Amino acid sequence: MSHRIIILASGTGTLAQAIIDAQDLDIEIVLVVSDQVKAQVLMRAVEAGIASEVIPMTNPRHLWNTRIIEKVAEYKPDLVVSTGFMRILPPDFVHRFPTINIHPALLPDFPGAHAVRDALLAGVNVTGTTVHWVDAGVDTGPIITQMQIPISKGDDEASLHERIKKVERGLIVSSIALILPTLERNV
């Protein structure tokens, strides 16, 4: 029986697509969740025959927290994979569902939403990408895997981020393969 995976994404879904296309993973992607109504990842889910749900951010925040927890619980995931989901997940969520995230920096350096820009502003020669367990903090969970990416002299934020994304597509798939044997299955 395959592991049940839920993908969280806010944007174009290139990382989600890498997971969808990964033939060697023993997974069933049971749901794609986005907080953005017009996110391209939703079309990728439709094209792949995967259920999708939009849960836009609401005020007060606790209503959104409740909605995302309830929706994910309906699908009984073995693993939740955050692929460019630009929301901080509530502590109740990450304590209940094993969740990993991919971040465009070598954590613990450059946590947060502007990691690529921050690395460039810091003048470092090398940055990278990190797959980590999600905890109640911002990019503070235990590291699973990392890959270094050198910063070139001509890099700007867009060019560097695109090079990082290319590496991330392979790293997220290999990281999922690495941790699948450690997960309990929800039957």
Per DSSP, what are the bridge partners of residue 131?
Answer: 102, 145
Q: Determine contact, residues 114/40, Cβ cutoff 8 Å.
A: no
Query: Strand pairing of 27-34 and 99-103?
Result: unpaired
> Considering 3, 62, 95, 103, which one is annotated as catalytic?
103
- Over the Cα atoms of the chain, what is R_g? 16
What backbone torsions phi and psi does residue 44 show, to the nearest 5 degrees?
-60, -40
Q: Is 103 a catalytic residue?
A: yes
Half-sphere exposure of 34 (CA within 13 A, CB side): 21
Catalytic positions are: 103
